[in-house]
Amino acid sequence: MNIAFIAHDRKKADLVGFTIAYEHVLKNHQLYSTGTTGEKIMEATSLQLHRFKSGPLGGDQQIGALVADNKMDLVIFFKDPLTAQPHEPDISALIRLCDVYTIPLATNMATAEILLSGLKRGEFQWRDIIKGNEHGENQE
């Protein structure tokens, strides 16, 4: 599965701790992240991530492009709900794309834990069906 990680500045430490706790699950998947978030995860774990640009410089949009191409299976985005973000329209667009393309999205640790528990149990095979259908785009 392709899994993306994003975290606002005040949530990066939480996401790093989360990836440390779930490293045994995550190591079997293709991992992606925005720039600084990925750097911090790789410093703290043995996980390898494809790093895009930082969020404010377009990293959110790069991940959104994979979502729109139905190439992302899960997005974990630890948002800071108490701090205004200068790239809020990009964040909203990414969340909207996850909804449009039925991509599971966690915006806090509690939801992320539930999603990774399901991933560990193998409950995401339905993504293979959706990828094959691509919302009817390839049907004649």
Residue 67 sits at φ, ψ, to 5 deg, of -60, -50
The type of residue at 35 is G
Catalytic annotation on 99? no
The type of residue at 6 is I
Q: Which residues pair with 30 in a beta bridge?
A: 2
- CA nearest neighbour of 51 among 9, 14, 111, 40: 40
Of the residues 14, 60, 73, 128, which is catalytic?
Answer: 60
3-state secondary structure of 2: strand
3-state secondary structure of 3: strand
Residues carrying an active site annotation: 60
